[in-house]
Structure 1
Amino acid sequence: MSCFISPSRSKSSPEVAGFYETRTGSIQYVVADVHSKRCAIIDPVLDFDPRSGNVATRSADELLAYVDLNGYSIDWVLDTHPHADHLSAASYIKEKTGSPTAIGEKIVAVQKLWKGLYNLADDFPADGSQWDRLFADGERFAIGGLNVEVMFTPGHTLASIAYVVDDAAFVHDTLLMPDSGTARADFPGGSAAVLWQSIQRIMSLPDGTRLFVGHDYMPGGRAAAFQSTVGEQRASNIHLTGASSQDEFVQLRDARDRQLPMPNLILHALQVNIRGGRLPEPEVDGRSYLKIPLNALPEASWAD
């Protein structure tokens, strides 16, 4: 797993370390106030091999090793949304460090949706109680001396949010690097029109705002990348320059989504991620089992 560093620009600006997880193309972040030595971890990955069913914590342990190396203390473990392409390690990091977990309050709607798709028992709490805090749109909190604002950015999922930390915004799948475009919007609860509106909120930030994405698939074989700016996205994002209105964007995004297979891990990941990164409770033999609903997602999403 490779690591990228984006240094702080001022005392109120965070230092950002991005950790690229190659198996899923995911980028995890340690966001630090270097003056107070406080930090947050955003979107940590729990390693999972669907062929063997094995779960490991190598990626999360690298984050913790980086935190220890720099003498940081963890204020928060933050999810931007319930991921469809990897399992969240938020629960593991909380277990190891005692740090509180948080996500946007719309996670409750996603839990209710997927509780039905998985036919989970009545005792599964679809109330967000798996996290220590549920953020509202516009809510503010702190990472050490850094001020953070929560920005709701639905469209990719019902519960997607961005964290704006001074001159840095963690937008995860809403925007990708400019040469990759934008997030898909065809998951249950997704909407290309709503995604367009969320992108406009992000584009209203100052041009120099650093934007940190949650995935990179290295188009054209280039090296993995994780940072752009609002100005760069506005000028060269292939989906924003190709669509001058919401209607044009919806047509472009819907056409693109019809060509995409569902992520390999979507049915594995969501049942863990709506639990805040916890595996299903062990059964009588002491082993946890994942549940795969058949014919739950559109047939059109099959890969050729």
Structure 2
Amino acid sequence: MNQDIPINYPNDISLAIKREDLIHPFVSGNKFRKLKYNLLQAKAENHKNILTFGGAFSNHIAAVAYAGKEQGLTTIGIIRGDELSEKIQENPTLKFAQENGMKFEFVSREEYRLKGEISFIEKLKEKFGDFYLVPEGGTNKLAVKGCEEILTNEDAVFNYVCCAVGTGGTISGLINSALPHQKILGFPALKGDFLQDEIRIFAQKENWNLISDYHFGGYGKVKLELIEFINAFFDKNKVPLDPIYTGKMVFGVIDLISKNYFPAHSKILLIHTGGLQGIEGMNMKLKQKKLPILKNNG
């Protein structure tokens, strides 16, 4: 569903947001897209277990836990931060995942960096038996295939499509499925230039660009300006935004509109990639810092 967003800038620019967050109550946005074909493949290969990786408030961990339960698959989460093993009940994401059947293996941050090593995966197989491996964030070829289905025929009217970027899977799918007249703009939630190479693994077109000025300090970092923007956006449009991904992207696009980045008469589509389950955890941190909390109707 595309929802128009009223803006008060000249140049006859129009803005709409694709509500991918409404696809599923617990496996929303790009997580639904990324898991769709991976779960089908896991079942086709007769796997009973899904193993994946994530941090304390990972949207991916929560989505895999629920999707696995729905599909009758056992899920295993390798969680970054061994200190979290004593804090499951204090963490809304991990608590949700556990309630939906996910088994946890908590590892140190040093050990977590080895998650791509064959020897590390073999140790996990010795402990848990055979499993279907889904990478951190869910990005692989099958995930990109799912994300290629985000854009539909009704989106042909837009000449700019904007999305947040984490591991690069969602934007790769958009790049692959975009029409010739469409430009894809990605707004990284992380610092660093490594994403260019990650995206080129899955997307060969040159119809895209990364805008790296709106990460607000890096992954998981927020500032008062961003919180106030997200809450004002919710008050005006009744669309909740997560502060890690979509909130930063929407802030960036509207800021660029005010700076005349887009040509006159541009039609811009924002992709809401979900992530709203993380708001509860972020609000816990904001309260500790005595900052305003984020509004969320979900």
Same fold (TM over 0.5): no
Q: Which has the higher helix share?
A: 2
Q: Which has the higher strand share?
A: 1
Higher relative contact order (CA 8 A, sep 6+): 2
TM-score of the pair, normalised by structure 1: 0.35
